[in-house]
Structure 1
Amino acid sequence: MNYLLITNRYPKQGNLYRNAFVHRRIINYLEFSPNMNISVFVLDNKIKSKINYSFDSIDIVEGNREDLLEIINQIKPEKLLIHFLDRHMMSVIEQVHIKTIVWVHGVEALGWYRRLFNFDWREFPKYALINMRQMWNFRKFINHSNKNTSFIFVSEWMKDILECDTGTKIKRFDIIPNPIDNQLFPYLEKGQELRRKILMIRPFSSKKYANDIAIDAILQLSEESMFNELEFTIYGEGKYFDPLTEPLEKFKNVKLHRNFLNQQEMANVHKEHGIFLCPTRQDAQGVSMCEAMSSGLVPITSNNTAIPEYVVHEKTGILTGGAKEIASSIKHLYENPSEFAFLSKHASMSIQEKCRPELVTSKELELISDAKNV
């Protein structure tokens, strides 16, 4: 069977992080099913003439809507596999009447009023208008495509929010998390001394990541007598990095790194730390959190959105409601090393059981290859 995966971005030389997790999925599919015939199309209506390139032995075509229709007519796929659905993809799907699976990741499926934490009066009105059109199109698409389309969500929260924000009821769906590579992020037993070493690896480009809350917690901890026994390491990049981290520069036990890490570098840094500090204002899963959990770091995060689907409070991590609770949680683990060891082990066990690649890949391949599906 032929399959066509359609997305809005894909890795290429010089830009390795463009939807890298979508590429990882294809690699996993081909490892499990070497004879699978899958093509990749990157839809960008700004492109005047299509571009062909290869990445990790995967052939990719970049082009506009007309190029996509041409490719579909050429290869005649049995199914379309869609990541980051937009109105141009919707119009093609409605035109060709091919069975389709849509992965919903979050940013493309949330009403503008759920992003008020990023409000900027200069940019937000334009974003809100674009978003309202996207959600209207999504509503129309769901209502007209329930016969030929099924959806995959990474969390129940994400499904519920899409249904709420579009005023629809999705008939065919599955909940399948993003895979977490337990070979790259294996569990290594954490010595109790690592409870003193707290790690943050976060983008500083959006208020969504609640880095201000994490830093406020560190500042509150600085007033505690045990503060100098702790070590904080912060990696990140974005427009908020300098203004948010400036108050921390005076502390000798806080190391600031204004740069991103690739996955291998993340795995190496995980080995040196015991707690992963990752509050959030909104997350459909929290992939970097799950990767840290797989490595055995104890997540201290937020009790909101989809996070409780991946972290069970005081069993696989700690859920908090703000900076004060984060600070007290770090102090609590410092004072209770046996509880830290328990949470570390069970954090890894839970994520590797729920998100290991072979489980996620087999579930997705079963849905993709099932002729009865959609």
Structure 2
Amino acid sequence: MASKRKTGGVGFDMLKKILVLSEGYPNPQKIYNMSFVHSRNIEYLKKNIEVDVISFSSKEDYVFEGVTVFTKRREINFDEYDVILSHAPNIRNHYKFLTKNYKRIKSIILFFHGHEILLTEDYYPSPYSWQNNTSWISRVLRKKYDQFKLLLIRELLRRNKVSCIFVSEWMLEEGFKNLKIKNRTEISSKIINNSINHAFYNNRYICDPSYKKADFITIRPLDGRKYAVDKVVELASYNPSFTFHIFGKGELFKHIAKPDNVTVFDTFIEQKDIPELLNHYSAAVMPTRLDAQGVMMCEMASYGVPIIVSDLPVCREMLEGFPNCIFIGNDDFSQMKLDQLSLSPLTNFNVIDKFSPEVLAKKELAFMSISVSSKKQN
């Protein structure tokens, strides 16, 4: 007799096939396009659950690593799917698709990752002064769109077939605040973190001093102010005896001075190559001004490298139990003496199960199963 598929004491036998909605999806030419969606689907496949995807930006159907990807033009037989999982739902594609086909859909789970349930102007930091600022008309239109977006998402969440997943407690709190939902029990919801890539989960940080390239490493897009590369520059300026390598593409250093102890590599590092690269540095510096979770920060901490991060509530929520993590307020990077910090690698890796791809996929499947079961009873 075949064994039941279970997770955390909850079976998910009733889940046979899932349809995933995503604005984009990996393909052989763009393997990191919304890869966080694909990594979950791979874990579902390991549990013998079929997964199809509608990629709203795809021009043609294709198969990628066992996952069939459809364009938005594909006619869907909704009877085949136990649940529709919508990642970062937007109004133009996701909401339109879900409401148009609502009567034919058995169960819906909205997966919230960030901006899709926030008033962006209230949360996202303004661009750097040298970047082209949007006009006041654009800002007004953006705010009106956000308000309309939140109104429609709130209406959708209150339908009886719909549940939702948030990637952090911070995301849930701020999401419900923006959606003007005061009572959590009104909505079927669950907090499940994004998992880390297997490359960070299965391998361990080992720094060989003879191969060390610099003291600190940062891997960030240079021009997004939310990624706070300017804070790394402030830290480097205040600590001239330490060396810093910054990997990322952008125009930032055409507009701000680069300290002599900073070397910039204008390149994109593939995710699979990051763990080995970290072995050449004593620690990582990964500040942020805004994150729903901060997956790369979690990956580096789980890999075991000592890491300096911003002292924000969401960073504390994710990494409070990681002894290799140092929290610094964003206002303090410009006056923090690095030789006064105790930076040590992670030695007890039990803590990283918090971000285990398998464990978190099981939690997601368990929640889907409960949601599907409850919808059948309604």
TM-score, normalised to structure 2, is: 0.82
Q: Which residues of structure 1 form unaligned runs of 5+?
A: 334-338
Mapped pair 1:220 → 2:245: no
Cα distance change on mapping 1:373 and 1:240 into 2, 3 Å: farther
Match in the other structure for 2:54: 41
Match in the other structure for 2:84: 80
In structure 2, what is the Cα distance between the partners aligned to 1:154 and 1:267? 23
SS of the aligned residue for 1:3 comes to: strand
In structure 2, what is the Cα distance between the partners aligned to 1:364 and 1:284? 18
What code does the residue aligned with 1:60 have? V
In structure 1, what is the Cα distance between the partners aligned to 2:374 and 2:314? 26
Cα distance change on mapping 1:16 and 1:141 into 2, 3 Å: same
Within a 5 Å distance, the mapping from 1:143-154 to structure 2 comes to 144-145=158-159, 147-154=160-167
In structure 1, what is the Cα distance between the partners aligned to 2:262 and 2:110? 42
Residues 195 and 275, structure 1, Cα contact 8 Å, conserved in 2: no
The one of 143, 146, 155 equivalent to 1:128 is 143
Q: How many residues align?
A: 343
Of stretches 185-194 and 196-205 in structure 1, the one that deviates more from structure 2 is: 185-194
Deviation string, structure 1 residues 103-149 (Cα, Å, up to 9, x no partner) = 1100212112334523523353443333222222222222x32x222
Deviation string, structure 1 residues 41-91 (Cα, Å, up to 9, x no partner) = 1135xx8xx621122232111125xx4xx3144x53111011011224224
Cα distance change on mapping 1:118 and 1:17 into 2, 3 Å: farther
Mapped pair 1:247 → 2:258: yes
SS of the aligned residue for 2:76 comes to: helix
Of stretches 323-332 and 131-140 in structure 1, the one that deviates more from structure 2 is: 323-332
Match in the other structure for 1:173: 189
Mapped pair 1:19 → 2:34: yes
In structure 2, what is the Cα distance between the partners aligned to 1:313 and 1:243? 38
Match in the other structure for 1:336: none
Match in the other structure for 1:231: 243
Two-structure CA RMSD over aligned residues (Å): 2.7
Match in the other structure for 1:89: 94
Mapped pair 1:52 → 2:61: yes
Match in the other structure for 1:276: 284
In structure 1, what is the Cα distance between the partners aligned to 2:233 and 2:321? 22
Q: Which has the higher contact order (CA 8 A, sep 6+)?
A: 2
In structure 2, what is the Cα distance between the partners aligned to 1:54 and 1:160? 37
In structure 2, what is the Cα distance between the partners aligned to 1:357 and 1:130? 35
Mapped pair 1:340 → 2:351: no
The one of 184, 205, 209 equivalent to 1:188 is 205
What code does the residue aligned with 1:306 have? V
The alignment-based identity, stated in percent, is 23
What code does the residue aligned with 1:165 have? N
Q: How far 1:323 sits from its partner (Å)?
A: 5.0
Mapped pair 1:367 → 2:367: yes
SS of the aligned residue for 2:37 comes to: helix
What code does the residue aligned with 1:178 have? N
Cα distance change on mapping 1:238 and 1:72 into 2, 3 Å: farther
What code does the residue aligned with 2:194 have? N
- Runs (4+) of structure 1 exceeding 6 A deviation are 191-196
SS of the aligned residue for 2:68 comes to: strand
In structure 2, what is the Cα distance between the partners aligned to 1:347 and 1:153? 27
